[in-house]
Structure 1
Amino acid sequence: MNKQIVAFALLAGVSGVSAAASEVNLGMSSEYVFRGVPQSDGAQVWASFDYSFSQLGIYTGLWVSNAGLAGNEEVDAYVGYALPLSQDLSLDFGAIGYFDPSAAEGDTANNNSELYLGVNWQALNAYAYYNFGGTAVDDDESAYAEVNFALPVLADASLKLHVGYFEGVGDFYNALADDNYVDYGVSFIKDYGDAGQIALAVTATTIDADHGLNGVFAESERPQFTVGWSRSFGGFL
């Protein structure tokens, strides 16, 4: 799974069981933006390893970054199942664990996990996530939904549109003045073949200075401009 090019869609790549497919992805960006909210306050370098079996529909992987939860490094593990319904339509569901290995016990950073379900139809995908909350705060379950659309604009280039919605469903969020926000963005991604991909993105949220989630996710109403690079390498195993 290529967790991020800059910030957007969860991508589940699935290929051959007779010769199980593996892939390594490397990338960097000027900022780690997750669901519209800046996480790193600076540059990010990340890598992932993916392993998949197409005839079984199963994929799994590991994603690591020098910047993530509460500014610490982040390690994500995921496993999922992709179910093709037709040539252009597929379902995707699985689980993700987010880990902050350097955070002190009881710190504001935390480990958490979530389940997701997605529908992919040609250049359009829609995903829903349910997060079971973290280890630092009690009753902080949440839900998130997103829609992404890729529009070809040039040779080997696309414009990707994104809108997402976050809803806090646990008592921790219900005690706040606001427990939801909308994030949105647009990114331009150009594929340079063996040289990798370059992505330029603009993202924002509805979290302003007076929003109830400002103290949780930090104010991110202003547009966030991000530039990133990524490269995939396949066939290692």
Structure 2
Amino acid sequence: MNKTAPLLVLALLSISSFNSQAAVTANVAASSNYYWRGVTQTDDGAAVSGGLDYSNESGFYAGTWMSNVDFGDQTSYELDIYGGFSGETQGLGYDVGYIYYAYPDAEGDSDFGEIYGSLSWQWLSVKASYMTHAQNDASAEEDMLYLELNASFNVFNDSELALHIARSSGDTVMEWTGEDDSYMDYGVSLSKAGFTLGLVKTDLDSQDGVKAFVQYSVDFDL
């Protein structure tokens, strides 16, 4: 997996050079914490992340994203690789794709993959993600479903208020959390000019209480 990101970068840049309707963008961010489905991935420490995305007029897109993580072992970073198709028909947006979560320096095989699909209308979106496979150390059962409902509104002076509620379920959830085979997570955030202030919460006993984070991100065209 270590060689995948550089190869993908070269592929995206090569494709964009031959397609005038294609776009390649990059993003970098710094955050006080990295939460994934309501659970910290950095042991409540800061995170620095970055990604590269390719898209064209057909609706096809592909990209990669990386962040530091801290699981209490030697694993130091996460590398995601994804691709899919998105578009809009009669005011209804759609997005279907696949994402591979890799942890190249993990002690064991912790990688896993998911397929996902979402529908959006105006300010509301629904999304489902389902684990398709996992390495032995990630899950013996390879069973996890994530359902989420998101809403976003323009408020104040060009600020965005985002609301989130979701449910994780499956044997993998119990294996990872050591608690029930399902839990809820909630979030609210306010973003403007690259800055985001957010609150997250789950109903897991080990993640009790509301957690706050602040993030600054920058996107730019290549």
Q: How would you bin the TM-score normalised by the shorter chain?
A: 0.7 to 0.9
- Tell me the CA shift for residue 228 of structure 1: 0.3
What is the aligned partner in structure 2 of residue 121 from structure 1? 121
SS at 1:155 equivalent: coil
Distance in 2, Cα, partners of 1:85 & 1:63: 28
Pairing of 1:56-67 with structure 2 (within 5 A):
56-67=58-69
Inter-partner Cα distance in structure 2 for 1:38 and 1:205: 11
Cα distance in structure 1, aligned partners of 2:86 and 2:191: 25
Aligned-partner Cα distance in 2 for 1:134–1:72: 19
Shift of 1:134: 2.5
Query: Is 1:205–2:207 an aligned residue pair?
Result: no
Residues 177-209 of structure 1: per-residue CA shift (max 9 Å, x gap): 620000001101112xxxxx100001000101x
**Partners in 1 of 2:150 and 2:52 — Cα distance?**
23
> Does 1:104 find its partner at 2:107?
yes
The aligned counterpart of 1:233 is: 220
For structure 2, the residue ranges without an aligned partner over 5 or more in a row are: 1-18
| 1:224 corresponds to 2:211 | yes
**Aligned-CA RMSD value:** 1.9
In 1, Cα distance between the equivalents of 2:32 and 2:174?
A: 31
- Distance verdict in 2 for CA 1:154–1:171, change over 3 Å: closer
- 2:215 maps to amino acid: G
Residue of 42, 47, 51 corresponding to 1:48: 51
Deviations 1:91-118, CA, capped at 9 Å, x for gaps:
1100000000111225xxx100000010
Distance 2:216 2:68 in 1: 15
Deviation at 1:120, TM superposition (A): 1.4
Q: Which residue of 1 aligns with 2:6?
A: none
Matches for 1:126-137 after TM superposition, within 5 Å: 126-135=126-135, 136=137, 137=139
What is the distance in 1 between the residues matched to 2:148 and 2:173?
Answer: 23
1:156 offset after TM fit, Å? 1.8
- Residue type of the partner of 1:155? N
AA matched with 1:50: D
The answer for the alignment partner of 1:78 in structure 2 is: 82
Match of 1:35?
A: 37
Residues 181 and 206 of structure 1 are in contact (CA less than 8 Å); yes or no, is this contact kept in structure 2?
yes
Which structure has more relative contact order (CA 8 Å, sep 6+)? It is 1
Q: d(CA) in 1 for partners of 2:36 and 2:21?
A: 33
Partner residue in 1 for 2:16: none
How far has the Cα of 1:155 moved from its partner? Answer: 1.5
The Cα shift of 1:27 comes to: 0.3
Runs of 4+ in 1 over 3 A off after TM superposition: 68-71, 169-173
Match of 1:95 among 98, 120, 128: 98
CA distance in 2, matches of 1:181, 1:158: 27
TM-score w.r.t. the length of structure 1 is: 0.78
Contact 1:133–1:139 under 8 Å retained in 2: no
Superposition TM-score, scaled by structure 2 size: 0.83
Work out the CA distance in 1 between the residues paired with 2:70 and 2:124. 27
- In the aligned structure 2, how far is the partner of 1:205 from the partner of 1:65? 22
Shift of 1:83: 3.0
Are the structure 2 counterparts of residues 130 and 51 from structure 1 closer, same or farther at C-alpha, using a change threshold of 3 Å? Answer: same
Seq. identity, %: 34
How far residue 150 of structure 1 moved from its aligned partner, in angstroms, is: 0.6
Across the two proteins, how many residue pairs are aligned to each other? 197
2:12 is aligned to none
